[in-house]
């Protein structure tokens, strides 16, 4: 681990003094340097709004997309900006022209909003939603491959696959899963909400048809910044979920203007990537991975359990078991989460899975092991009162 990482870096974020923030994965935390860049962009917009929005915006978006492509792989013209990954996924599902008899595959680890979008698309088209169960705790990549394979059929039109599962933080063997789905005749839509900034990425090299991601989580953009990458051959049939003025003018034209909105999060991408480069992208990934895995292992040892996934299947998030005597119920999870926040100023998600409570630990470079040790102590204190 890099010695400079940890609490010494907290001053680069506007985090509340005394807060132990172990939930970077939910909505991110924007660095001060990027917020300053966003404010400058907002001032430029307000200095001449119509000129900026109607003339200057398109070149700015395309330049930012080129910067994104330089970091995530491929060509800038294959990337468009969305408010978040869920928005991109909805665009794909709305454009899919599902029919009765078609199947859409998801897993029991699929993000709830995405599962809802898939269910709605299937209901509207008379298609079927197939949910496969990925074993948890998961032992190895083979278990994920077997689970997905079990749900594929001749009717599977689209498989929606997480690159990193949101609630459980499992890095799935995506390239192998894409091949498996393609062999079965299914197209692949990837929910990569947690991947940019936590693992090395070459999105086109993964082979999927579509890849939706958030850049406001781990890539340090302001909130409201996602991207959708689409393979060139599927772009002609792809349209935004909100149809606006540029219908029929092509992939980037339609998505670059879906109506009046604040484009500053998208235009901040160069500033966000500059901040990440200043820290060292590889060093950030390494530190966060080692810290998340080390913290989950520490809590697994203290609470006599096992981590939600092996270290090789984790990135900057890991699921740590909580004491077995705590009721594995949503009401207990919510109560514990609120207790940790309001009594100890610790923000961390508490998850109910496999008959047990778990803490989803998210490590960012402003965190260090002492933060997770304070969490473990607070959980022990809570447990003593139950």
Q: Single out the residue of 301, 302, 303 nearest to residue 326, CA to CA.
A: 303
Residue 159 in contact with residue 59, Cβ under 8 Å? no
CA distance 56 to 65: 15
CA distance 40 to 262: 13
Q: Do β-strands 356-362 and 350-353 pair in parallel, antiparallel, or remain unpaired?
A: antiparallel
Torsion sign (Cα): 121, 125, 126, 130: negative
According to the model, what pLDDT value does residue 2 have? 45
160 φ, ψ (degrees, to nearest 5): -100, 115
According to the model, what pLDDT value does residue 177 have? 98
DSSP three-state, residue 74: coil
CA distance 285 to 279: 10
Residue pLDDT, tens place only, 144-201: 999 999 999 999 999 999 999 999 999 999 999 999 999 999 999 999 999 999 999 9
Token match 């989950």: residue? Answer: 296
At what angle are helices 281-302 and 269-279 packed, to 10 degrees?
A: 70
According to the model, what pLDDT value does residue 4 have? 85
Positions of the chain with pLDDT lower than 70, given as ranges: 1-3
Structural domains of the chain, with CATH = 7-30+280-384 (3.90.1150.10), 34-274 (3.40.640.10)
According to the model, what pLDDT value does residue 238 have? 98
Residue 219 in contact with residue 272, Cβ under 8 Å? yes
CA distance 230 to 234: 7
Q: How many helices (H) and strands (E) does the chain have?
A: 14, 12
Q: Concatenated DSSP letters for 109-166? A: TS-HHHHHHHHHHHHHHT-EEEEEPPPSS---HHHHHHHHHHH--TTEEEEEEESB-T
């Amino acid at each position: 681990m890099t010695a400079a990482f940890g609490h010494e870096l907290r001053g680069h974020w506007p985090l509340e003094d005394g807060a132990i923030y172990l939930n970077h994965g939910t909505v991110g935390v924007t660095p001060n340097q990027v917020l300053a860049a966003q404010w400058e962009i907002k001032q430029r917009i307000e200095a001449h709004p119509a000129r900026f929005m109607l003339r200057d915006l398109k070149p700015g978006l395309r330049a930012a997309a080129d910067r994104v492509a330089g970091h995530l792989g491929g060509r800038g013209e294959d990337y468009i900006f969305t408010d978040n990954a869920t928005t991109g996924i909805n665009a794909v599902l709305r454009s899919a022209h599902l029919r009765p008899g078609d199947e859409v595959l998801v897993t029991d680890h699929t993000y709830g909003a995405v599962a809802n979008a898939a269910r709605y698309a299937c209901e509207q088209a008379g298609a079927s939603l197939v949910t496969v169960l990925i074993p948890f705790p998961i032992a190895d990549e083979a278990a994920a491959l077997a689970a997905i394979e079990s749900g594929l059929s001749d009717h599977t039109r689209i498989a929606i696959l997480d690159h990193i599962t949101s609630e459980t933080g499992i890095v799935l063997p995506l390239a192998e899963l894409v091949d498996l789905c393609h062999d079965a005749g299914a197209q692949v839509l990837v929910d990569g909400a947690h991947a940019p900034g936590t693992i090395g990425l070459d999105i086109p090299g993964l082979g999927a048809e579509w890849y939706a991601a958030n850049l406001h989580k781990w890539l340090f953009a302001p909130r409201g910044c996602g991207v959708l990458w689409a393979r060139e051959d599927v772009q002609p049939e792809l349209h935004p979920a909100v149809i606006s003025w540029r219908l029929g003018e092509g992939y980037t034209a339609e998505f670059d203007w879906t109506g009046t909105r604040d484009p500053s999060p998208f235009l901040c991408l160069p500033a966000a990537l500059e901040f990440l480069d200043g820290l060292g992208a590889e060093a950030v990934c390494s530190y966060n991975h080692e810290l998340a895995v080390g913290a989950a292992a520490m809590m697994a040892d203290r609470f006599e359990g096992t981590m939600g996934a092996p270290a090789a299947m984790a990135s900057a998030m890991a699921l740590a078991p909580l004491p077995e005597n705590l009721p594995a119920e949503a009401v207990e999870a919510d109560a514990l989460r609120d207790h940790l926040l309001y009594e100890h100023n610790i923000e961390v998600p508490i998850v109910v899975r496999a008959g047990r409570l778990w803490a989803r630990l998210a490590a960012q470079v402003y965190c260090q092991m002492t933060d997770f040790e304070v969490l473990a102590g607070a959980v022990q204190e809570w447990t003593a009162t139950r």
